[in-house]
Amino acid sequence: SKLGAMEARHLVARMVHRDAASRPTMGVVVHHPLFWDAKTRLDFVCDVSDAVEEQPLLVPELERSAERV
């Protein structure tokens, strides 16, 4: 899927970072969204949705950062 390809590119780019200290540990790698199952993905989206509803000031901050994501 397109999402899976984006997640894979993100993970691989971090894993081959020129600065070894900036590379993720294996513990971080195995928890990367690339390896999430459908339930974990849905739970994440629901949690983010709930946070946005509970903190309306979060929306403008997210929108300001959107271009960098």
**Residue 15, phi then psi, degrees to nearest 5:** -70, -25
Tokens of 36: 């999430």
Q: How far apart are CA 58 and CA 63, in angstroms?
A: 9
pLDDT of residue 68: 64
User: Is there a contact between 14 and 33 (Cβ–Cβ < 8 Å)?
Assistant: no
Q: How far is CA 41 from CA 16, 20, 24, in A?
A: 25, 29, 21
User: Each residue of 35-61: pLDDT tens digit?
Assistant: 999 999 999 999 989 988 888 888 888
Q: What is the mean pLDDT of residues 7-34?
A: 95
> CB of 16 within 8 A of CB of 22?
no
